[in-house]
Each structure stands twice: as structure tokens, then as C-alpha cells.
Structure 1
Amino acid sequence: MIEIRNVSKTYGNKSVVENVSLNIEKGKITSFIGPNGAGKSTLLSMMSRLISRDSGEILIDGKDISKCKSNLLAKKMSILKQSNHINIRLTVRELVSFGRFPYSQGKLTKEDWVYVDEAIAYMELEDIQHKFLDQLSGGQQQRAYIAMVIAQNTEYILLDEPLNNLDMKHSVQIMKILRKLTDELGKTVVIVIHDINFASCYSDHVVALKDGKVIQDGPTDHIIDSSILGDIYEMDIAIQNINENRIAVYYA
């Protein structure tokens, strides 16, 4: 379990995350939703230690992450940020192999390459695994980065808007894979996501943030509610039940 206790982050005079406390359950998909500027990505970055927190505690399986050694934390938790910038020219296969660095330190074993091959297959990248990243579409690149995270084989997977640049088919593919990783392999997935219907259909738990604070936190069926979503997004959002899923209708 990830425990977040009274965590805050301020940039200048602006409070980006304010006194947030919540628990992330093991073996579940937890989605962070909310408008732009709600603090979702900042909170995720503090959870992974990419940025420091100003106050509060974050514990993973009872241990303060600030006291964990980096190589051990990288075997426990992986993260994919929104913007991925690699300045060297890599093939898909080479990129995915970077996920094994915490284990191999760059000297990959046969076991490491098995994880690489499995991740490439998971993301259906076999046909383009030897192509360079700059030869791919934005969606193909995004799938390659997610494959790298899968190859890292951590118990906790943090993803910041992983559906960016993806069409409908591949967005569904990613969410189904995350569901499979959770249901079959017991992974714990935390995802920042803008599409509340993807959050509704694939998440076990939803954390709704606004202005740096947790407004609601609970099971998906509880959070995907007209009044709750209306307060968070400041618009009328109707909810319809379609194929046992709660679907938000906000286009009209």
C-alpha cells in the first residue's frame, strides 16, 4: 500500500498540492481525475520521488520513500511522465530494454531480454521493435514507453496521462492491459487520466482533485456521480448506465 499523509507542495506563492492524505490499495487501479491545475501530476511525481514534497510523508509498504535507496525503489515502483525526452537515437527494443536497468545496470541477461520480449508483445510492438523512435507516430512512441515501464516489472506502476497521443483503439488496448496487469499479476496501478469514462470503466478506485485538494476519494461507482463530478468540473454531467458501466455524458 502507498500511504500519503498530509502532503503539500508550493511553487512560489501558489499551493499546488495542499495537505493531501489518502491510501492507495494494493492490487487495484486507482485513477486521479480533476481539471487542469488540480495537482494530479504533481502528486504523482511526489509519490515517485521525482519531485520533493514540502511537508508530509509518503510511505510504500510502510517505508518512507525518502529513505529508500534509489535502485531499490526503482525495483518497487515505476513511473511514466507526460513528456518523455530522450536525446539519443534509439530503437523501440533498445528503449524497452532501459526498463531493465535497475536489475542489469546496462548488462542485460537472458532473463532481462525475456522481460523485454514479453513487454514488446504485450504492447503489440513486435513488427516495429527495430524501428527508431523518431520514425514512429506519437501513439506508437507512447506504447513503446509504456512497454518500457512494463519491462521494469515493478509492483507499483504510476502513469501520468498514458493515453496522450493515442487513438480510441490503442487507448482501449492500454486500459485493458493495465486491467490485465492488475487482475492477473497483482500489480498496483495509479493513473492520472482526463477521460473520466475510461476511469469509470477500468478503475477500482477514483481520487478526485481540485485546486490541490482531494475533494472525493472512494470506489469508482461512488465517485462517478452527477453531483460529485459537477462540483469538480463545474459543469452539468449526466450519468448513464451502459453495459454495467457508469458513463458520463457532458457533450450536450
Structure 2
Amino acid sequence: MELRQNRFRFAPRVLKLSVCLLSLSLGLPMGLSALTLPIVAAQETIQKTTLSPAEATKTAQILLKALVVQDAKTIYGQLSEALRSTTTTERIQQRLKRRPQVKSSRIVDVSPGIDDTTVDAMVETIDGDVPLIMVLDQEGKLIAWKWSGQALPIEQSAIDFVDDLVSARWIGARSFLELSFQQELKPQDLQRKWTKLNRVSGGFQKVKDAIVASQGGEQQLVLVTIEFGDLTDNLFVIFNSQGEIINVDFSADLV
């Protein structure tokens, strides 16, 4: 099946999770013409994920216990469908063996977002305590996680992009975009979208971290975890293979 390519658009929120990850795993272009999706009417309030904090905590506890005993099968079973299509139990087991042994863990915070939930945990390893961030979809499945402390180049670029938005450096933020995306997106478009997201989410507080969900291909996905006054949410930023931004998941509500 051929999909028309129209890459340089802001993806609607409904693309964020499994559709977004599945498109990347299959190598499909992330554009509005590739998928016919409803446009949500503009509103001044944002609904939070249907996943309850208790449900998110339960999934996180399963994953943390699996880390302690290096149970790759259990971890694989907690991945979103899109992530399961990109890995195997054997690969997960290999990665577990390369990491320092986990002795214990505890959940520090559970933050529901718009359609995902961010769980912060502290993991005790033989090398010391390490912060771990997990992002769960509305079904309670893992869509990304990261051991904090190190930032890949595209993670840092995504953070710098958001920093420019926060500081109202619209031209600076726009410089992170691929040239064709820059030609389509004016600085005032960035200003309008970010300003409304900031307002309906209760006001920007801080950037917590950035997490790579997919990398190494023609399209790479980074989740920027942002703490607002009313919720913590993940902004999906899609890069090309050259590290230039070709898509951002600002909601259609924010047009």
C-alpha cells in the first residue's frame, strides 16, 4: 500500500502513541495525508489520559520487578504493540545483561498527561542509585523509558528546541526545523501553538528530560517530558536522519 508523503505538518494528538510509533517502526512517513484522522474542535481545557495513577503504578511495579530479576519476557509483555514489533525477548535480555545489576527500586512520582503517563522511579544498582523514567500509553503499555544522566544528540536538540519555545525565541526554535518545514511554518505559528499549549496546561514549569523512542532510521522519535502547572506531558518531536526536526505533535486543538 502506498501512502502519499506529506511530512512537514504538526501531527494531531491522536497520532501520538501507537500510530506514531507504528509508523516509525514500519518506516512510513509521518504526515497528515498518510492517515485520515478527525480534527478535534478547539477548546480551552485538555482532557487527561484515561489510565489511572493506580494502573500506571501497577505496570511500573511489574517492570521494576522484572528489572531486578532480569526477566526479559515480562518486560516484552509490557511493551506497546508498536515497540514489540521492533524488538525481541532475546534483544531485551542482551540489554539487561549489559546494564549494572539492579538490587531494588522505588516509584517516586506518577504524572498523568494528556494521553500518556510519566512514571519516575529510583533504581538502586551495584553502581549506585539511578533515576529511571517510564512513559506509558492509555492502555498502560510502555512506549519509552530512559536511564537518566546521559543525553543523545537528538535528545539534546529536542530539549534545546523546547527551551527556545519556553524563552519565546521563535526564530531560534524554528532553526531546528528541516528547511522545507521552516518554509512552511512561520515563527508566529510556533508562538501561537506553544502559547496556547502553555495556557491550557497550567503554565510551563520545567523540562524534566528527553527520551529516544526510536532512532537510527530515516525518522527518529524523541519524547520531551514537560512539567506544566496542571499536568506532565510528553511532546513528541520527530527528526530525520540528519538530526533535523520534521514534525512536532502540537495538537490540532492548538491551530
**Structure 2-normalised TM-score?**
0.30
